Amino acid sequence: MFSIKRILIVAIMITLLAGLTNVSAAASDVTLKPSSQTVAPGETFTVDIFVSPDVDIAGMQFDLFFDGSQFHVSDVSEGSLFKQSGLDTFFVEGSVNSGLINDAYGCVLGASDVSTPATFATITVTATEQANGRSELVLRNVVVSDPKGNAVDIDITNTEISVLFFDINQDNVVDFADYGLVEQHFDETTSYPYPPWDVNQDKIVNVIDMMLVLSHMD
């Protein structure tokens, strides 16, 4: 009888420990938004660093890595995240170099905090004229602090930028002539090196390629 009880107790303990192991710790989300976007060479676009706090926070820092041959960063501006506190804030855009934004940070100036999701920073980026294909913008060295100076747990989501050519006939204007070329090859399968009418280079010419051209008409 004793041995049976002992076995049952051990089994219950193992089950409880397994359950505890499967419980994931809560964390604040730090997300580059949008999660993906498509742009043309030479096009300027923005990426937001969006924070969804799981606890009260009052400060944040980040680095951002990108392909310097594909993109140039022209501006890093403060979002509304810490301004929600109603107090003054301090924001440093960091050093912008080829392929790196280094040591950008900001905080609430005073005894206050925020817990409502909002944008911490907006980054203005321009694709180079030579840019082509898919490339990630990657957050590194991200630290989010609570009001007492303790680092909080975070989950990070990066973004992918696709730089594609929409001037299918290469006449320096995106118009219905380019759309017509995509339509002419509709439902064709492709392979590398991809023809220009497979705009997003996904091995099939379909309505997505049409819409990409339409959305970038001059």
Task: Return the CATH number at 147.
Answer: 2.60.40.680
> Which residues pair with residue 46 across a beta bridge?
124
DSSP-assigned letters across all residues of 28-73? EEEEEESSEEEE-TT-EEEEEEEEE-SS-B-EEEEEEE--TTTEEE
- Give residues with Cβ within 8 angstroms of 140, minimum separation 6: 62, 63, 64, 65
- Kindly state whether residues 152 and 184 are assigned to the same domain: no
Q: Is residue 18 part of a domain?
A: no
- For 69, the domain range is 28-163
Q: Is residue 13 part of a domain?
A: no
Single-letter amino acid, residue 1: M
In the prediction, which pLDDT does 72 show? 97
In the prediction, which pLDDT does 81 show? 98
Q: Is residue 149 part of a domain?
A: yes
- Kindly state whether residues 158 and 96 are assigned to the same domain: yes
Tally of domains within the chain: 2
H helix or E strand, kind and range, residue 153:
none
In the prediction, which pLDDT does 67 show? 96
Look up residue 113 and give its DSSP letter.
Answer: -
- Kindly state whether residues 74 and 156 are assigned to the same domain: yes
- Kindly state whether residues 32 and 74 are assigned to the same domain: yes
- Kindly state whether residues 33 and 135 are assigned to the same domain: yes
In the prediction, which pLDDT does 144 show? 98
- Kindly state whether residues 143 and 103 are assigned to the same domain: yes
Q: Is residue 197 part of a domain?
A: yes
- Kindly state whether residues 158 and 183 are assigned to the same domain: no
Single-letter amino acid, residue 198: D
Q: Is residue 17 part of a domain?
A: no
Tell me the C-alpha distance between 148 and 55, whole Å.
12
Q: Is residue 118 part of a domain?
A: yes
- Kindly state whether residues 114 and 210 are assigned to the same domain: no
Tell me the C-alpha distance between 4 and 7, whole Å.
5
In the prediction, which pLDDT does 14 show? 53
Q: Indicate the residue among 163, 184, 202 that finishes a domain.
A: 163
Q: Is residue 23 part of a domain?
A: no
Q: What is the pLDDT along the chain (218 residues), one digit of tens a residue?
A: 446 656 545 555 555 455 544 444 679 999 999 999 999 999 999 999 999 999 999 999 999 999 999 999 999 999 999 999 999 999 999 999 989 999 999 999 999 999 999 999 999 999 999 998 889 999 999 999 999 999 999 999 999 999 999 999 999 999 999 999 999 999 999 998 899 999 999 999 999 999 999 999 98
Short-list 43, 62, 68, CA closest to 119: 62
- Kindly state whether residues 33 and 78 are assigned to the same domain: yes
- Kindly state whether residues 117 and 151 are assigned to the same domain: yes
